[in-house]
């Protein structure tokens, strides 16, 4: 597996798995509070109370997770688009994601086109297509 593929597999590990719905029931039991994300459980409970199936909620979270990951990867590769409209005329900002050589601890290779290749690394093999039931 290439370094890029390993990185993208790691991204997929943090995107919710639509096959796992256990977290939905557990989360729906959490009481509302005013802490950060303190309404997460009550939102999920409200969805369940309105008849939204846990598998639909899990699929929605997978889609949101994928879209978020895609956008962050795009952001990493295109800093100009990321800050367009609020940068100063005199400032220029670039960044990139690189693998690091273990011995010298210097950048080795850039990881490019991550956003373009994320879809092909979907562990389900469906490239985010809906599951046929």
| Reported confidence tier of residue 99, pLDDT bands at 50, 70, 90 | very high
Give yes or no for residue 84 having a pLDDT over 80: no
Look at residues 68, 26, 66 and name the one whose alpha carbon lies nearest to residue 48: 26
Domain ranges of the chain: 3-121
Nearest-angstrom CA–CA distance, 117 and 73: 10
pLDDT for 91: 66
Look at residues 115, 21, 1 and name the one whose alpha carbon lies nearest to residue 62: 21
Contact 107, 100 (CB under 8 A): yes
Contact 32, 65 (CB under 8 A): no
pLDDT for 87: 61
């Amino acid at each position: 597996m290439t370094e890029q593929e390993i990185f993208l597999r790691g991204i997929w590990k943090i995107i919710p798995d639509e096959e796992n719905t256990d977290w939905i029931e557990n989360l729906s039991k959490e009481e509302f509070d005013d802490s950060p994300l303190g309404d997460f459980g009550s939102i999920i409970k409200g969805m369940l109370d309105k008849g939204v199936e846990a598998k639909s909620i899990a699929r929605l979270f997978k889609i949101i997770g994928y879209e978020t990951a895609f956008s962050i990867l795009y952001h990493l590769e295109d800093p100009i688009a990321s800050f367009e409209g609020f940068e100063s005329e005199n400032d220029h900002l670039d960044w990139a994601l690189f693998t690091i050589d273990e011995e010298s601890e210097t950048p080795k290779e850039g990881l490019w086109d991550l956003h373009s290749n994320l879809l092909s690394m979907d562990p389900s093999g469906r490239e985010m297509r809906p599951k046929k039931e």
